[in-house]
């Protein structure tokens, strides 16, 4: 009955052929533009810190003179160097611990051919193995079942060798084999496109940028009275105060844009591997319908599971789109995923008039 219901829902859309190659190319360019922008912002902030520190030593130097001296290494950019060292160490540690963080707070167990407890779990492992071969991955991802009724899944791993996919029991039991295969193709596309490494890098740079900017901001506030005669330092102080209130908003918007871009890429990757746009479209509709129909139950389940905010961006479906709210930060006010209509349109399904 569920399959018939979902088929009826797809009948409300006009189907066409999706140009998944174009989607992959466009969103790949957008991704690297955003990543490059984050690196430039981080580098620019490092230079801003160095200029602020140098202005106390070279009190008569103008802003352009300080900038030129730092860029030409006449003044060594020590703050910028330290910031990049800290970022490199933080990324290394994050890569190592990321998988454990993603499963933290859930009740889960790993699926292997030996540990599969029933036919459904064996089928899940076989589906992942099939999609691994189709995607050309060299290593078999670890497969985890999360004991939850809501329908969701995510992938993790900073490389093919460390890759894993996790799927809730609700999703495994409520999708048919083709839909399950399409969802796994979507998740393995995240691994194949190095999405975890890219988004984790961007998130870490964004968070570190805000932390450094906060420290600089409070230094400006509490030292402003002592430096009234230093024009360069005062000008830098104004720039820092402006950035303190604008850069966090810019960072959130860029991260949301990056997340939505990678979701569309993974959707296109699923079509590429499945050679059909219908299974993923059907799965996405079924997942949303299930969340809407069980909103209150799932709202409690998401809220009672610790660290859901860590997994939210990685999920194939953002619960916020079904009215399930989890506002713990500014970024949680916005969906990390494109709307279902946008995703279906990209897959070649547009609502009939």
Catalytic residue chosen out of the listed positions 121, 160, 179, 187: 187
| Integer CA distances (angstroms), 29 to 136, 140, 239, 261, 306, in order | 22, 28, 31, 10, 35
Of residues 323, 250, 327, 314, the one with CA closest to residue 288: 323
Rounded-to-integer distance, Cα 261 and Cα 343, Å: 11
Rounded-to-integer distance, Cα 201 and Cα 86, Å: 13
CA atoms within 13 A on the CB side of 189: 25
Q: Is 19 exposed, middle or buried (0-12, 13-18, 19+ CB in 10 A)?
A: middle
Rounded-to-integer distance, Cα 350 and Cα 353, Å: 9
Rounded-to-integer distance, Cα 183 and Cα 193, Å: 15
Please give the helix or strand (H or E) that residue 302 lies within, else none.
Answer: helix 295-304
Query: What sign does the CA torsion over 201, 207, 209, 211 have?
Result: negative
Of residues 21, 25, 67, 34, the one with CA closest to residue 236: 67
Beta carbons of 309 and 328 less than 8 angstroms apart: yes
Residues in contact with 131: Cβ distance below 8 Å, sequence separation at least 6, in sequence order: 181, 184, 185, 188, 273
- Annotation marks residue 187 as catalytic: yes
Determine the distance from the C-alpha atom of residue 162 to the mean position of all C-alpha atoms in its chain, rounded to a whole number: 17
Query: What sign does the CA torsion over 176, 178, 181, 186 have?
Result: negative
Beta carbons of 204 and 281 less than 8 angstroms apart: no
Catalytic residues: 187
């Amino acid at each position: 009955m569920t399959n018939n219901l979902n088929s009826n829902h797809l009948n409300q859309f006009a189907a066409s052929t999706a140009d998944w190659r174009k989607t992959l190319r466009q969103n790949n360019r957008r991704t690297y533009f955003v990543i490059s922008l984050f690196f430039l912002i981080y580098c620019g902030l490092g230079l801003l810190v160095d200029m602020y520190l140098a202005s106390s030593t070279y009190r008569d130097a103008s802003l352009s003179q300080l900038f030129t001296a730092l860029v030409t290494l006449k003044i060594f950019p020590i703050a910028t160097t330290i910031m990049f060292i800290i970022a490199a160490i933080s990324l290394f540690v994050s890569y190592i611990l990321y998988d454990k963080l993603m499963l933290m707070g859930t009740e889960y167990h790993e699926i292997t051919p030996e540990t599969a407890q029933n036919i459904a779990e064996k089928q899940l492992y076989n589906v992942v193995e099939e999609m691994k071969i189709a995607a050309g991955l060299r290593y078999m991802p670890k497969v985890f079942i999360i004991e939850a009724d809501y329908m969701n899944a995510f992938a993790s791993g900073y490389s093919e060798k460390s890759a894993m996919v996790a799927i809730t029991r609700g999703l495994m039991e409520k999708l048919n084999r083709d839909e399950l295969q399409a969802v796994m193709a979507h998740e393995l596309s995240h691994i194949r496109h190095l999405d975890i490494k890219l988004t984790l890098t961007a998130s870490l740079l964004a968070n570190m940028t805000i932390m450094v900017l906060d420290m600089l901001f409070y230094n400006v506030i509490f030292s402003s009275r002592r430096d009234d005669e230093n024009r360069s330092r005062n000008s830098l102080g104004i720039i820092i105060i402006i950035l303190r209130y604008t850069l966090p908003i810019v960072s959130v918007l860029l991260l949301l844009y990056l997340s939505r871009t990678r979701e569309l890429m993974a959707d296109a990757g699923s079509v590429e591997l499945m050679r059909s746009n219908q299974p993923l479209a059907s799965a996405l509709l079924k997942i949303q319908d299930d969340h809407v129909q069980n909103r209150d139950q799932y709202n409690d389940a998401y809220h009672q599971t610790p660290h859901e905010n860590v997994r939210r961006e990685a999920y194939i479906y953002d619960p916020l789109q079904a009215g399930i709210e989890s506002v713990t930060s500014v970024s949680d006010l916005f969906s990390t995923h494109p709307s279902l209509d946008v995703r279906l349109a990209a897959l070649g399904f547009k609502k009939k008039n």
